[in-house]
């Protein structure tokens, strides 16, 4: 499976309450279960007016279908080419 980075424009995202974030997560989990294909939501980051997500699946079309069923925007969906961090410098 490939990993995809999803950028969602979500006005007021940083002001969402824990309950609202829980509801978004529950919606996503329900849709993942109903997709009928291999799909893993790794994690999401809420920052300003955006939510950035990392999902694993076989293709971009499935990521977009997940977003459609959830009612979430998926303004940018790109495959992750590589992951780097501080340890990359000494590898």
∠ Cα 51 52 57 (to 5°): 125
The dihedral sign for the CA sequence 5, 64, 44, 2: negative
Number of neighbouring beta carbons within 10 Å of residue 62: 19
Report the relative pairing of strands 2-9 and 76-79 from DSSP bridges. Answer: antiparallel
Question: Residues near 62 by Cβ (< 8 Å), separated by ≥ 6?
Answer: 35, 37, 39
pLDDT at residue number 80: 98
Give 8-28 pLDDT, tens digit per residue: 999 999 999 999 999 999 999
Give 29-47 pLDDT, tens digit per residue: 999 999 999 999 999 999 9
pLDDT at residue number 91: 74
Whole-model pTM over 0.85: yes
């Amino acid at each position: 499976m490939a990993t995809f980075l999803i950028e969602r424009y979500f006005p007021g995202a940083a002001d969402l309450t824990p309950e609202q974030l829980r509801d978004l997560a529950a919606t996503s989990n329900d849709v993942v279960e109903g997709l009928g294909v291999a799909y893993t939501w790794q994690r999401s980051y809420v920052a300003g007016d955006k939510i950035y997500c990392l999902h694993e699946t076989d293709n971009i079309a499935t990521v977009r279908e997940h977003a459609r069923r959830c009612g979430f925007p998926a303004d940018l969906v790109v495959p992750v080419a590589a992951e780097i961090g501080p340890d990359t410098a000494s590898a």
